[in-house]
A and B are shown apart, each in its own frame.
Chain A
């Protein structure tokens, strides 16, 4: 059974750094791209970036390029989304999703709520 389990809710201050995780199981981790999706409070889904776990090749949405970094650790089947300096506007729920056999987002993590407030 394919599962994506994300790290728990975070509360941070502006300017702080953060890394959230997405641990995959039930499939060959290096075979399928993983994406990150943002959902701000009461708003729609926004695709942020994707990574090929086999070689860590990344593609970013222009809206997020330079503000976030995605990475993987193949040894533990885990993908990461990180910020070096959070802003209040980064408060949102962040989902990971795997582009599985259908090439669309067939499986999703449960979401990680991030609150950035002074």
Chain B
């Protein structure tokens, strides 16, 4: 089965900073990579699908990129409301594995 590895597991950054989270698949997953945001105590929400397509309503400061096995979620200017844990997920075929998560905090 394909493993999804996220890094870092946590980060602390200042408001306005550019934040980058990486996700690596143990094998190629084509374009079937999604990112989710889970704020403390809340249900996960879809941010990005198909590597780089922003879900409706998601602020444009979020972006996704990558291909094959290496993918990136970028927050161009970190805002206080972005405090959350972010997960990548492969969804081309089962098992639909999540990455371990990256907890983002404000410095």
Binding site for B on A (CB under 8 A): 35, 37, 44-47, 50, 59, 61-62, 95, 99, 102-106, 108-111
Contact across chains for B100 and A44 when beta carbons are under 8 A apart: yes
Q: How far is the CB of A42 from chain B (nearest CB, A)?
A: 10
Binding site for A on B (CB under 8 A): 1, 32, 34, 36, 38, 43-46, 49-50, 53, 55, 85, 87, 89, 91, 94-101
17 contacts between A and B (CB under 8 A): A37-B98, A44-B99, A47-B95, A95-B43, A102-B50, A103-B49, A104-B34, A104-B50, A104-B89, A105-B36, A105-B44, A105-B46, A105-B89, A105-B91, A108-B44, A109-B43, A111-B43
Alpha-carbon separation in the docked complex, A61 to B85 (Å): 23
Q: How far is the CB of A51 from chain B (nearest CB, A)?
A: 11
Residue numbers in A under 8 Å from B1 (CB-CB): 62
Contact B98 A44 (CB under 8 A): yes
Tell me whether chain A's interface is mostly helix, strand or loop, or mixed. Answer: strand
A108, B37: Cα distance in complex, Å: 12
Q: Choose from A50, A62, A102 the contact partner of B96 (Cβ within 8 Å).
A: A50
- In the complex, which residue of chain B has the Cβ closest to the Cβ of A35? B96
